[in-house]
């Protein structure tokens, strides 16, 4: 039983993904379809970048990416599965007993103190102690229910915390990934899913740079935050961090960056 941090592995993706995207796009306008899969790499890169700038994103739906996520919390996974155009397989708390579960510690606890009857306790220490108490209660309830595998796990799990580590496979097509990144790289997104999104983006940029160039929170594409009073106020910082002309990013006036 110990604190864990996110680990993201890109386990599978469409071979020649950018070529597939370019071929799908060219097919829409091609009288002659021979040679669709025989385009030169530079031409493919330019076409994919143009598709992004135009907002012609349906060809990007033809490529897929599968990730294995470890060291993430149930709190994070509950947010992740709200992205419905995706496929998920998650480790079960019913079929797998969670004695001595690992857990995610929120970093914001650092530097804070909890007042207890015995005196002040560092918040991180208090949190870790709480995880141990929950683990003991989970084990005791599972024992009381007869340790009957899924038949007892399914009820004992009701005391497990949102911090409990989970592991899952996630598959998304390229277009849904673009949407996912725009929503979850936003500074208003919760810290853990934002961290996972950043790790996923690093993975796909390695294998599909033209599709994911200049990808960031939605303010980067829109030329400013659409959330009004709820804005983080850090648009320029996000533009400098994520903006890239090949991805069709915009400057502070909303003009395509050059």
For residue range 125-145, list pLDDT tens digits in order: 999 999 999 999 999 999 999
Position 244 scores a pLDDT of 62
Range of the domain at 204: 7-90+165-247
Residue 79 pLDDT > 90: yes
Confidence of residue 162 (pLDDT cuts 50, 70, 90): very high
Q: What percent of the chain has pLDDT over 90?
A: 72
- For residues 149 and 169, membership in a common domain is answered with no
Domain with 219 in it: what CATH number?
3.30.1360.170
Position 199 scores a pLDDT of 96
Q: Is 147 part of a structural domain of the chain? A: yes
Position 255 scores a pLDDT of 39
- For residues 57 and 169, membership in a common domain is answered with yes
**Range in 34-38, 71-75, 154-158, 220-224 with the lowest mean pLDDT:** 34-38
Which SS3 state, helix, strand or coil, does residue 111 take? coil
* 47-to-26, 43, 96 alpha-carbon distances in Å: 9, 6, 47
Is the Cβ–Cβ distance between 173 and 208 less than 8 Å?
Answer: no
Q: Is 40 part of a structural domain of the chain? A: yes
- For residues 149 and 191, membership in a common domain is answered with no
Number of domains making up the chain: 2
Average predicted confidence (pLDDT) for the chain: 90
Per annotation, catalytic residue among 157, 184, 194, 221: 184
- For residues 12 and 59, membership in a common domain is answered with yes
Confidence of residue 112 (pLDDT cuts 50, 70, 90): very high
Q: Is 180 part of a structural domain of the chain? A: yes
Q: For residue 19, what is the enclosing H or E element? A: helix 17-27
- For residues 73 and 22, membership in a common domain is answered with yes
184 catalytic? Reply is yes
Residue 191 pLDDT > 70: yes
- For residues 34 and 136, membership in a common domain is answered with no
- For residues 81 and 173, membership in a common domain is answered with yes
- For residues 138 and 176, membership in a common domain is answered with no
Q: Is 138 part of a structural domain of the chain? A: yes
Main-chain dihedrals φ then ψ at residue 6, nearest 5 degrees: -65, 140
């Amino acid at each position: 039983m110990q604190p864990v941090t996110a680990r993201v592995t890109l386990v599978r993706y469409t071979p020649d993904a950018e070529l597939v995207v370019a071929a799908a796009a060219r097919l829409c306008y091609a009288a002659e379809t021979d040679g669709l899969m025989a385009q030169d790499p530079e031409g493919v890169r330019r076409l994919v970048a143009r598709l992004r700038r135009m907002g012609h994103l349906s060809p990007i739906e033809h490529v897929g990416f599968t990730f294995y996520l470890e060291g993430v919390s149930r709190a994070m996974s509950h947010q992740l599965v709200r992205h419905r155009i995706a496929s998920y397989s998650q480790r079960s708390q019913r079929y797998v007993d969670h004695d001595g579960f690992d857990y995610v510690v929120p970093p914001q606890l650092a530097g804070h103190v909890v007042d207890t009857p015995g005196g002040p306790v560092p918040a991180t220490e208090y949190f870790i102690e709480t995880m141990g108490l929950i683990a003991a209660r989970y084990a005791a309830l599972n024992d009381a229910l007869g340790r009957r595998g899924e038949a007892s796990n399914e009820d004992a799990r009701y005391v497990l915390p949102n911090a409990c580590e989970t592991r899952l496979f996630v598959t998304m097509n390229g277009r849904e990934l673009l949407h996912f990144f725009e929503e979850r790289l936003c500074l208003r997104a919760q810290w853990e899913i934002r961290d996972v999104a950043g790790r996923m983006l690093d993975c796909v940029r390695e294998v599909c740079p033209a599709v994911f160039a200049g990808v960031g929170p939605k303010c980067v594409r829109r030329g400013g935050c659409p959330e009004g009073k709820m804005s983080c106020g850090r648009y320029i910082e996000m533009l400098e961090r994520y903006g890239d002309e090949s991805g069709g990013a915009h400057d502070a006036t909303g003009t395509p960056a050059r």
